[in-house]
Amino acid sequence: MASTAELAERYRAVLPSFISPLYNRPISISHGEGSRVFDNEGNPYLDFFGGILTTMIGHANPVVVEAVQSQAAKVMHTSTLYLNEEMIAFAEEVAAVSGIPDPRVLFTTSGSEANDTAILLATNYRSTNQVLAMRNSYHGRSLTAQAVTSHRAWSTSSYSGLDVHFVQGGYRLRSPFRHLDDGAFTDACVEDLVQLIDMTDSGGFGALIAEPIQGVGGFATPPDGFFGAMGKVLRSEGILFISDEVQTGWGRTGEHFWGYGAHGITPDAITFAKGVGNGITLAGIVARAELMNCLKRSSLTTFGGNPLSTAAGRATLRYVLDNDLQSNAAARGAQMRKRLAPVCDASPHVAELRGKGLMQAIEFCHPASIEPDAATTARVLESAKDRGLLVGKGGLYGNVVRITPMLNVTEAELDEGLDILAQVIETLD
């Protein structure tokens, strides 16, 4: 087996410069089990990032391994040209948990493609190229998904043909309305939305696309009810609401199965990816039939809904529901908050601890300010890794640590990881 050091050199030599390993001293991952992974030298790590919230119910989860192995031995690919029970059954199962009336489901290969599809549908349905998105958003790397992304570190192009306007409110800590209480903050953002539409509408907006909790943006969390209040304005204008649940879906927030559940709004479309197949390539969109069926031409995605990925999706969703992992996310989320809140309150380096359930984040700033401190964030990441804990990075300025354990993380595993993180924060000079 190649050493970690050798792999780091080969990675740099053959992959594009725009992708990079998380750590200054990168680690390899040779295998995993449950909440733990092991590098090529056999060192164990507690994994509280899951390959970006994607290994959702544990590494090598036997139910997913079994589903993938037995499906692989039968047939791996057929395409949507043929009837395949795994795809149809999983579409039915996703439809049933979506909360969208009369839903239709399309599987895709990435979150970007799912969001592309949502925007394709909304702009066709509403006959417009105008779209609304939130400030501090991330929706993917395709040209359309980039167009609705407003996170400078990850914005590679604005060349899409869409006319996108960005709405206030996703990222409260750096909002001009940050000093207001929840209700007044929401009202101010809604007023801004009204004015934005008033001033920039040139034939009608197709949709507002939003992450209920902004993922790459550092788990920026608007007040509960925020999107419901936005939704009233949207509805009065006929503008659709697309909830990008790529990070917030499947019970991760603990209190609801989907992130939109905190807001008193039913989206016209939900996009999902990442955790849905516990690591197998799988994503998709579920939308009202009237919206999903609005295209007048044919459109397919070759790999979308292939039997292998949908078998993994079915096993994962069944496991989440059968084991009530949403409740575990709520309980473990409360445990995380209880352990980290006093540590964060006492640290001059922490501006905010935020998020819900098993998606929580710590924003690091220079003391007594909201001036981002990416250097301290990088130190926290490296130091946690050196002590055997993997967490993620995020935020507009790379100054946010994201903590997203598996949905089936145990109380003891969480304690173990949080102790490491607490020690790291407490010993920052």
What is the nearest approach in angstroms of ligand PMP to the Cβ of residue 181?
27
What is the nearest approach in angstroms of ligand PMP to the Cβ of residue 139?
5
- The amino acid sitting at 396 is L
Between 344 and 391, name the residue whose CB sits nearer to ligand PMP: 391
**318: nearest Cα among 76, 73, 57:** 57
Who contacts 236 (Cβ-Cβ below 8 Å, separation ≥6)?
A: none
**241: nearest Cα among 203, 269, 261, 214:** 269
What is the nearest approach in angstroms of ligand PMP to the Cβ of residue 75?
25
Quote the CA–CA distance of 53 and 406 in Å, as a whole number: 8
Between 246 and 315, name the residue whose CB sits nearer to ligand PMP: 246
Between 22 and 428, name the residue whose CB sits nearer to ligand PMP: 22
Locate 423 and state its tokens: 């020690």
Strands 350-356, 359-364: parallel, antiparallel or unpaired by DSSP? antiparallel
| Distances, alpha carbon 418 to alpha carbons 19, 48, 77, 109, 387, in Å | 29, 10, 42, 34, 12
What is the nearest approach in angstroms of ligand PMP to the Cβ of residue 280?
12
Between 206 and 392, name the residue whose CB sits nearer to ligand PMP: 392
Cβ–Cβ under 8 Å, residues 44 and 411: no
What is the nearest approach in angstroms of ligand PMP to the Cβ of residue 183?
26
Quote the CA–CA distance of 12 and 9 in Å, as a whole number: 5
What is the nearest approach in angstroms of ligand PMP to the Cβ of residue 244?
5
Between 34 and 277, name the residue whose CB sits nearer to ligand PMP: 277
Between 38 and 154, name the residue whose CB sits nearer to ligand PMP: 154
What is the nearest approach in angstroms of ligand PMP to the Cβ of residue 10?
23
CA 404 from centre of chain: 10
Between 253 and 347, name the residue whose CB sits nearer to ligand PMP: 253
**Which residues are at the interface with ligand PMP (CB under 6 A)?**
110-112, 115, 138-141, 211, 215-216, 244, 246-247, 273, 283
Strands 205-210, 240-244: parallel, antiparallel or unpaired by DSSP? parallel
Between 47 and 211, name the residue whose CB sits nearer to ligand PMP: 211
Cβ–Cβ under 8 Å, residues 350 and 362: yes
Residue 351 dihedral angles phi and psi, to the nearest 5°: -90, -30
What is the nearest approach in angstroms of ligand PMP to the Cβ of residue 344?
24
Q: Looking at beta carbons, which residue is closest to ligand PMP?
A: 111
What is the nearest approach in angstroms of ligand PMP to the Cβ of residue 51?
11
Between 141 and 379, name the residue whose CB sits nearer to ligand PMP: 141
Quote the CA–CA distance of 424 and 427 in Å, as a whole number: 5
- What's the order of all strands across the beta sheet hosting 31-33? 31-33, 36-38, 44-47, 389-390
Quote the CA–CA distance of 133 and 87 in Å, as a whole number: 31
Quote the CA–CA distance of 349 and 374 in Å, as a whole number: 11
Between 86 and 116, name the residue whose CB sits nearer to ligand PMP: 116
**329: nearest Cα among 394, 404, 270:** 404
What is the nearest approach in angstroms of ligand PMP to the Cβ of residue 113?
7
